[in-house]
């Protein structure tokens, strides 16, 4: 079990444009803790992406992807895991924005 994020080309979730594995429950918990220790507020990341290591069926809607991208861009450098998470999710945001699609979990 773990958390994956995907951008689909269609509403039936049959044609994947891009996807990343965020990690297992423990890994997501570590990212969540590191994020909680930062001084800035990251509501989409903390409440919609890293709130659970096993949520599924959730999404960051297409009109929210730009706000998620902004949160990721202002994240300071952190652990190797946080830096990788940031880079991979930024790439996913770029695909979602290019195609006007949501990011699903």
CATH, residue 80: 3.40.1760
- pLDDT score recorded for residue 40: 82
- pLDDT score recorded for residue 51: 86
Q: 3-class DSSP state for residue 6?
A: strand
Q: What is the pLDDT along the chain (105 residues), one digit of tens a residue?
A: 689 999 999 988 899 999 999 999 999 999 999 999 888 889 999 999 998 776 777 899 999 999 999 999 999 999 999 999 999 999 999 999 999 999 999
| Integer Cα distance of 55 and 1 in angstroms | 10
72-to-15, 86, 102 alpha-carbon distances in Å = 26, 6, 16
Residue 31 domain boundaries: 3-104
pTM check: above 0.85? yes
Q: For the chain, what's the residue count? A: 105
Split into its structural domains, the chain has a count of 1
- pLDDT score recorded for residue 57: 79
């Amino acid at each position: 079990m773990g958390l994956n994020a995907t951008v689909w080309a269609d509403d039936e979730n049959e044609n994947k444009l891009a996807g990343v594995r965020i990690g297992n429950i423990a890994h997501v918990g570590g990212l969540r803790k590191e994020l909680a220790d930062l001084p800035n507020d990251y509501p989409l990341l903390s409440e919609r992406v890293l709130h659970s290591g096993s949520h599924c069926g959730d999404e960051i809607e297409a009109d929210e992807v730009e706000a998620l991208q902004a949160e990721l861009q202002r994240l300071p450098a952190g652990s190797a895991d946080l830096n990788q998470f940031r880079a991979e999710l930024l790439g996913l945001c770029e695909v979602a924005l290019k195609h006007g699609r949501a990011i699903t979990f």
